[in-house]
Amino acid sequence: MNGLSRTAAILGGMAAIVALAGCANGGPAFHGAHPMPHPEAKPAMAAPPAAEAPALDLRHLSALRDILPALADRRVVYVGETHDNYAHHLAQLEIVRAMHAAHPLLAIGMEMFQQPFQAYLDDYVAGRFSEREMLIATEYFRRWRYDYRLYAPILRYARDNGIPVVALNVAGDLVEKVRAHGIDGLDAADRARLPAEIERGNAAYEARLKDIFEQHPHTRGRGFERFLDGQLLWDEGMAERAARYLEAHPDTAMVVLAGSGHLAYGDGIPRRLERRVPVAGAIVLNGWEGEIAPELADYLLLPAPQPLPDAGRLGALLAPGEHGLRVESCSADSACAEAGLRRGDHLLAIDAAPVSDLADVNAEMWGRKPGETVTLSLRRARWFAPAREWTVEAVLR
């Protein structure tokens, strides 16, 4: 367990805040409130003496509620996350609530949705689409894939309060093309989909990305320059989308939700947004695995671990098949086994909704709870007779 994890465990249920940046008068120095030069622009300095090492008094940490009024003074608040950490998303929701109380005109920018699917998010917030319809239309389970229960409270709060949700992420196929061929290798049609500006030359940003690149051997065959191109496309694309929304809605504030790597040190989305639209912003990171420095963010949040509630499960190992999804095996004492499914059976539908891949299954199953009953439509091949198709009820475990 690293230092941050130990701190979070010691703090128990309290969400602790470490203020990482300070003005000369001791108050918080919000990102965007004052110029924040690139880290490499600072003159080279000798390491400070050991006696001047930063120290945190863990007995006097602030809580999230203590900084909410200060965050509400900002037009843009960037809130980082580890995507599969439920506690991070609950903290994001608290910040969204506080920002909405201070800014009735608020939007939520989300990395989790890609820009071509914006209309479906609009339909969801307006009540024209159900949650299921929105998830299918945005291809959430094909493109993002994380358990939707992590984000459902935020999306539902947006829908219930009429808060626009802005799809920030660029189209996944464009990112893959850039990583495969580089920006210079794109054809004219794909180049037209790029952000209008892509800023290079931030040595510290590139050095951090190179460290990440070298920790993942499977990326090395593509070359670092293509990896860097992909990251620049990601960060510039999300920043451009947020900036355009803010320009078109000058009275609206925004909470940007994205992976912490896109926000740390301000080098990803924040500076690239503020290069386009001068706004006062603040960066809040949920936890951090790397080195902690004053330039990292305005606030570092250390939420206590929070597990997702138990999900209702079929307990079936599924693989693509000729007819729907093929059952490879059933876990012992599972709904799959109890309902009599066998290896080689094909799952055709859940509650009459056809399923052809795991994304379809996730769209039907994500909100189910243990003890709920679902109706499975199945197909079983037989040697000397036509295939059998039938339905059976399964009680989720």
Token pair, residue 325, equals: 């999804």
Fold adopted by 3-43+57-302: Rossmann fold (3.40.50)
**In a structure prediction context, what are the per-residue pLDDT tens digits for the chain, which is 397 residues long?**
443 333 333 333 445 677 665 433 334 444 444 334 444 444 556 777 899 888 888 888 899 999 999 999 999 999 999 999 999 999 999 999 999 999 999 999 999 999 999 999 999 999 999 999 999 999 999 999 999 999 999 999 999 999 999 999 999 999 999 988 889 899 999 999 999 999 998 888 888 888 888 887 665 556 888 888 888 999 999 999 999 999 999 999 999 999 999 999 999 999 999 999 999 999 999 999 888 888 999 999 999 999 999 999 999 999 998 888 999 999 999 999 999 999 999 999 999 999 999 999 999 999 999 999 999 999 999 888 999 999 999 999 9
Q: How far apart are the first and last CA of the chain?
A: 31
**Interatomic CA distance for residues 81 and 79, integer angstroms:** 7
- Per CATH, the number for 316-395 is 2.30.42.10
Token pair, residue 119, equals: 């209309």
Domain-wise residue ranges, the chain:
3-43+57-302, 316-395
**Interatomic CA distance for residues 65 and 143, integer angstroms:** 34
Q: Which residue has the tokens 């965007």?
A: 32
User: Are 396 and 314 in contact, with CB atoms under 8 Å apart?
Assistant: yes
Please state whether 310 falls in left (phi above 0), alpha (psi between -120 and 50) or beta.
beta
- Going 359 to 364 to 369 to 375, the CA torsion angle's sign is negative
Is the full-model pTM beyond 0.85? yes
